């Protein structure tokens, strides 16, 4: 009985640790996705800026 309780407590700790690790990974992934969104916005803005400058150069 004592050994069984120890095993159960150990497994509970493992599960808690895994849940915490999963949460940390999910937060990290969310941050990376937000960074990607910002970078995509930056690329879109730079592309638009470049196209406008290129277009004005051609018109000259």
Tokens of 39: 């970078």
Sign of CA dihedral 47, 48, 53, 59: positive
Structural domain of 55: 1-60
pLDDT of residue 57: 86
Total domains in the fold of the chain = 1
pLDDT of residue 46: 98
pLDDT of residue 59: 80
- Alpha carbons 29 and 25: distance in angstroms, whole number: 6
Tell me the pTM.
Answer: 0.65
- Alpha carbons 39 and 51: distance in angstroms, whole number: 18
Helix (H) / strand (E) element for 13: namely: helix 2-59
- 7-60 pLDDT, tens digit per residue, is 999 999 999 999 999 999 999 999 999 999 999 999 999 999 999 999 888 887
- Within a 13 Å sphere around the CA of 13, how many CA atoms are in the beta-carbon half? 6
């Amino acid at each position: 009985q004592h050994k069984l309780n120890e095993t159960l407590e150990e497994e509970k700790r493992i599960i808690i640790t895994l849940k915490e690790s999963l949460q940390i990974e999910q937060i990290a992934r969310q941050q990376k996705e937000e960074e990607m969104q910002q970078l995509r916005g930056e690329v879109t803005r730079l592309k638009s800026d470049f196209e406008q400058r290129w277009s004005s150069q051609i018109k000259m």
